[in-house]
Amino acid sequence: MIDRGCKLKITNVVKQVIALAFMFYASSAFSLIEIDGDLGTDDGYTRIIMWEWEETKDAPNPCYGAPVCYVMPDILGHIYRPTLWRNYQQGQYIEAQMYEKASQVRDAWVKKYPLTTYLSGYYRFKQDSPKCAKMWYSTKTPTAEDDISPQEFPGTTCYDVVPTKQICMFELEDREVQFGQINLAEINGKKKYVKIVIACMYGTNIHIYAMSDTNEEKVYLSKDSKFYAKLSMDGQNLFKGVSEPIYKWFQMHSYYIEVELGVDGYSVPSGNYTGNMIIYFVHD
């Protein structure tokens, strides 16, 4: 019996791939959206999320010096004009009358609600309302009954659709696949599995790929390319990609990549063998 050690290292390049996939999104002073609202009812549970808020250095705060100034998001397309009452009641606002610059208002907001933090509540919709939220300010205290006629914070942008700025996470259970000591008779068809976990903010389809670090279908472990590892998932070739659905709100999805050793009709000399494989995914 001749023992042979075999080890594959895994390179995770998902960050680079995601960076390219997420490069483009709407650019404006605000990227504020309303998501997950039930537009078919009078009262729809809604989550609002702020993606981006950038201000120029000298942009003024429109309510600087007022006795009071409340800044908060609200839904556009209500049965009534926005009252800001829902968020005010839940404490989802900041007071901004003391800030001279809009950038200071932005900093105060992000300090209380870091970007991508959800604000949740019930809002009233018309059935044909667009999916849209804006940032508002008011120099009057919101109430349940009174129309305080809030003003749009300068630069706020309405989105009719969920933005394309997807957020996903990708985890590898192990960075190495250790086959250990292998008998020659056991090499061909020997298998190990690599667990990966993927989750995304929005429901989508993902496409998982795996290949060698030289962009080849097999990970070659010997110089003559006759000793190799094949990469698959659910019987499908990962070099060509495997498509899977992903559900929203960061529900964890686990997948198992099969690493199978193969030999093309010759005796593998004794020794230690290593190779590198790359695992990555893209989304629709």
Rounded to an integer, what distance in angstroms lies between the CA atom of residue 9 and that of residue 71?
Answer: 51
Please answer whether residues 196 and 255 qualify as being in contact, where contact means their C-beta atoms are separated by less than 8 angstroms.
yes
Alpha-carbon 50 to chain mean position: 14
Task: Quote the pLDDT of residue 165.
Answer: 60
CATH assignment of 3-21+166-283, given 1.10.3130.10, 3.60.15.10, 2.30.42.10, 2.60.40.1090? 2.60.40.1090
Task: Quote the pLDDT of residue 122.
Answer: 55
Mean pLDDT by 10 residues, the chain (284 residues): 40 30 29 43 57 77 93 69 78 92 90 76 52 80 78 71 61 75 76 84 80 81 82 86 79 86 77 79 75
In our burial notation (b when 16+ CB lie closer than 10 A, e otherwise), range 120-144 reads ebebbbeeebbbbbbbbbbbbebee
Rounded to an integer, what distance in angstroms lies between the CA atom of residue 31 and that of residue 34?
Answer: 10
For the chain, the structural domain boundaries read 3-21+166-283, 30-152
Among 232, 207, 234, which Cα is nearest to 217's? 232
Among 63, 37, 33, which Cα is nearest to 49's? 33
Global pTM value: 0.47
Q: Where are the beta strands (DSSP E) in 213-252?
A: 219-220, 227-233, 236-237, 242-246
Rounded to an integer, what distance in angstroms lies between the CA atom of residue 89 and that of residue 80?
Answer: 17
Task: Quote the pLDDT of residue 12.
Answer: 36
